[in-house]
């Protein structure tokens, strides 16, 4: 038996050990909350130089990888869609064989070009590449994919994703819609989901990847995004996705400012825009690399109510004189109501069939010569021969004149200011449907300082999108949605025929 003195000492030691244990756990938790990861996304206009195209662009990629990890200690870098080749219809001379997930890239004839590039990752960084992949089918025919592949620090493949929803890529094969290797967890504790450009417009994979894997808190998109007025401008749509889905979003976009292709960003799951870039009007353009610490904030998977706010960005770029964007907007297919800006408190309900939107708007300073209209639409979205079905949208739109055909056709600089704007939608469709904000203000940037909230009760969904502070220069403020499973529909947003002229 221990004496009382030694028993007391033993108890004291036990409690001290327990306290130290608790302190260690506390510091670990504090560290987890404070520890961000550093991300780099690259907006790049590929060098088109004949047989040297791949070599020249790989040299650029290698330099950016080394700079990101050595100068900025970035832990992951994302490159854009078709960033190594430009948009090419015939992939024959540009495609690689790729190792499988779990396989290490080796110095072999099959993998030599990528091996030389990924050697740069030995400085300690995850590399996300978009490449044209070639493989052999069971009938011994060579087939090609638009593929994202992720290498870790020791050149091992940790994820590979083949684009499911192709657009104007006639010689490529769609990836398997049920593929399950588009997510990966890094050694810095973040689980990423990944898809490519045009896939963003479809439930599978853009929302399914979140529904199927609750541990995904961050999403990567390699894109060749062609911005279109009024609802599908790059920064607007990407920011809206992050806001609606409560995910950190890394977007690397191909670049051609005279063709309306571009718009990269790093968006936070809490509505913060860490960094973004839309265009630069210069004679010689050497690419743009965005680098930012990203908050490792996991989304809530227990609450039925999702409420997220957006905030002012840290950086801006207004060199947009030569930036072009296509307008796809046929006013004949939409329901409009002119906004009476002279009212102090505006409350309007506008419906397209059974789909209704309620607007609550308080102007604070108006220009009586300016025109704003409220708009609602449900059904198809026609863009030439391409159609997106099951689309729903309601929005406040700036118009050049009282003619509805002038609404949403370009960025109209408006002087009127709003103390607050809110839109509410009630929907009975929940399964395989999704919604998100779409906004634009002058400078081709989203409307910041907003809150997006969705609540689901049984089979009903209620959506509320509001401003958090007074706004000015608003061109678009709306909610976009697609109902039902939309895996095989088409919408001209990315890599339109115009991209062929711009990038090749």
Of 13-27, 148-162, 366-380, 454-468, minimum mean pLDDT range: 13-27
Q: Quick check: 179 pLDDT over 80?
A: yes
Asked if pLDDT for residue 264 goes beyond 80, the answer is: yes
Task: Please give the Cα distance from 145 to 222 (Å, whole number).
Answer: 14
Check pLDDT > 70 for residue 34. Answer: no
Comparing 20-34, 92-106, 109-123, 402-416, the range with the smallest average pLDDT is: 20-34
Note the pLDDT of residue 173. 96
pLDDT surpassing 80 at residue 55: yes
Band (pLDDT 50/70/90 cuts) for residue 22 is: very low
User: Does residue 14 register a pLDDT over 90?
Assistant: no
Token pair, residue 289, equals 């690399």
Give the pLDDT of residue 30. 38
Question: Residue 196: helix, strand or coil by DSSP?
Answer: strand
Interval 220-262: pLDDT, tens: 999 999 888 888 899 999 999 999 999 999 999 999 877 788 9
Give kind and range of the element (H or E) at residue 208.
Answer: helix 208-211
* 268: number of Cβ within 10 Å: 24
Give the span between the Cα atoms of 233 and 347, in whole angstroms: 28
pLDDT at 128 over 90: yes
**What's the pLDDT at 320?**
65
CA–CA distance, 318 with 4 (Å, rounded to integer): 77
Angle at the Cα of 45 from the Cα atoms of 284 and 80, rounded to 5 degrees: 150
- Please tell me the predicted confidence (pLDDT) of residue 282: 62
pLDDT band at 307 (very low <50, low <70, confident <90, very high): low
Q: What percent of the chain has pLDDT over 70?
A: 80
pLDDT at residue number 304: 40
Q: What's the token pair of residue 480?
A: 């976009």
Supply the pLDDT for residue 322. Answer: 61
Residue bearing the bigger pLDDT, 378 or 279: 378
According to the model, what pLDDT value does residue 32 have? 36
* pTM metric for this prediction: 0.86
Confidence of residue 314 (pLDDT cuts 50, 70, 90): low
CA distance 481 to 423: 13
Asked if residue 471 has pLDDT above 50, the reply is yes
d(CA 413, CA 420): 18
Q: What average pLDDT score do residues 42-71 get?
A: 92
Instruction: Dump pLDDT digits (tens) for 379-415.
Output: 887 654 566 788 899 999 999 999 998 888 777 789 9
Out of 127-141, 281-295, 296-310, pick the least confident.
296-310
Secondary structure (3-state) at 463: strand
Q: Report which of residues 315 and 377 the model is more confident about.
A: 377
- Higher-scoring residue by pLDDT: 267, 319: 267
Q: What is the pLDDT of residue 432?
A: 66
Q: Domains plus CATH for the chain?
A: 36-309 (3.60.110.10), 326-491 (no CATH)
Name the more confident of 15 and 442: 442
The yes-or-no verdict on residue 110 having pLDDT over 90 is: no
pLDDT at 284: 62
Mean pLDDT score, 139-154: 94
Residue 135 near residue 146, CB atoms below 8 Å: no
9 band by pLDDT with thresholds 50, 70 and 90: very low
- What integer best gives the mean pLDDT of the chain? 83
Q: What integer pLDDT is reported at residue 496 of this predicted model?
A: 32
Q: What is the pLDDT of residue 433?
A: 82
- Nearest-CA neighbor of 192 among 248, 124, 266? 248
Q: Which residue has the tokens 């400078």?
A: 443
d(CA 117, CA 144): 21
Residue 296's pLDDT is 60
Number of residues written out for the chain: 504
116-120, 273-277, 469-473 — which is least confidently predicted?
Answer: 116-120
Task: Please indicate whether residue 502 or residue 401 has the higher confidence score (pLDDT).
Answer: 401
What one-character-per-residue DSSP string does 241-254 give?
HHHHHT-EEEEEEB
Can you tell me the mean pLDDT for 88-92? 92
């Amino acid at each position: 038996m221990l004496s009382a003195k030694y028993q007391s000492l033993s108890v004291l030691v036990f409690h001290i050990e327990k306290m130290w244990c608790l302190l260690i756990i506390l510091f670990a938790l504090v560290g987890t909350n404070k520890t961000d990861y550093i991300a780099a996304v690259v907006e790049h206009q590929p060098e088109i130089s004949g047989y040297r195209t791949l070599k020249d662009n790989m040299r650029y990629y290698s330099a950016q990888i080394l700079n990101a990890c050595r100068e900025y200690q970035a832990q992951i870098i994302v490159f854009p869609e078709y960033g190594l080749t430009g948009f090419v219809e015939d992939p024959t001379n540009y495609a690689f064989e790729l190792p499988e997930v779990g396989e290490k890239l080796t110095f072999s004839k099959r993998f030599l070009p990528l091996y030389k590039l990924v050697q740069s990752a030995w400085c300690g960084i995850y590399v996300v590449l978009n490449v044209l992949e070639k493989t052999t089918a069971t009938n011994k025919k060579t087939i090609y994919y638009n593929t994202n592949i992720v290498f870790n620090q020791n050149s091992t493949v940790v994820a590979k994703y083949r684009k499911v929803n192709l657009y104007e890529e006639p010689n490529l094969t769609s990836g398997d819609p049920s593929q399950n290797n588009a997510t990966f967890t890094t050694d810095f504790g973040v689980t990423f989901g990944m898809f490519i450009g045009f896939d963003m417009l479809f439930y599978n994979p853009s929302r399914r990847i979140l529904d199927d894997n609750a541990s995904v808190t961050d999403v990567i998109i390699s894109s060749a995004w062609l911005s279109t007025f009024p609802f599908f401008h790059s920064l607007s749509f990407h920011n809206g996705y992050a806001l609606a889905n409560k995910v950190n979003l890394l977007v690397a976009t191909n670049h051609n400012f005279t063709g309306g292709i571009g718009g990269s960003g790093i968006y936070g799951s809490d509505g913060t825009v860490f960094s973004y870039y839309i265009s630069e009007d210069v004679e010689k353009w050497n690419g743009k690399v965005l680098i930012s610490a990203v908050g490792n904030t996991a989304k809530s998977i227990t609450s039925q109510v999702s409420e997220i706010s957006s905030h002012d960005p840290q950086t801006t770029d207004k060199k947009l004189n030569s930036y072009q964007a296509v307008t796809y907007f046929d006013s004949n297919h939409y329901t409009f109501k002119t906004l009476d800006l002279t009212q102090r408190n505006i409350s309007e309900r506008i419906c397209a069939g059974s789909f209704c939107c309620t607007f609550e708007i308080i102007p604070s300073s108006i220009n009586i010569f300016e025109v704003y209209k409220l708009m609602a639409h449900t059904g198809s979205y026609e863009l030439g021969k391409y159609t997106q079905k099951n689309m729903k949208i309601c929005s406040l739109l700036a118009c050049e004149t009282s003619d509805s055909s002038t609404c949403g056709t370009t960025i109209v600089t408006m002087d009127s200011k709003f103390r607050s704007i809110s839109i509410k939608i009630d929907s009975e469709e929940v399964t395989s449907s999704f919604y998100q904000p779409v906004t634009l203000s002058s400078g081709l940037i989203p409307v910041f300082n907003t809150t997006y909230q969705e609540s689901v009760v049984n089979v009903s969904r209620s959506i509320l999108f509001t401003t958090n502070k007074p706004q000015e220069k608003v061109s678009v403020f709306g909610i976009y949605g697609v109902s039902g499973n939309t895996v095989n529909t088409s919408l001209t947003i990315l890599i339109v025929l115009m991209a062929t002229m711009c990038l090749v």
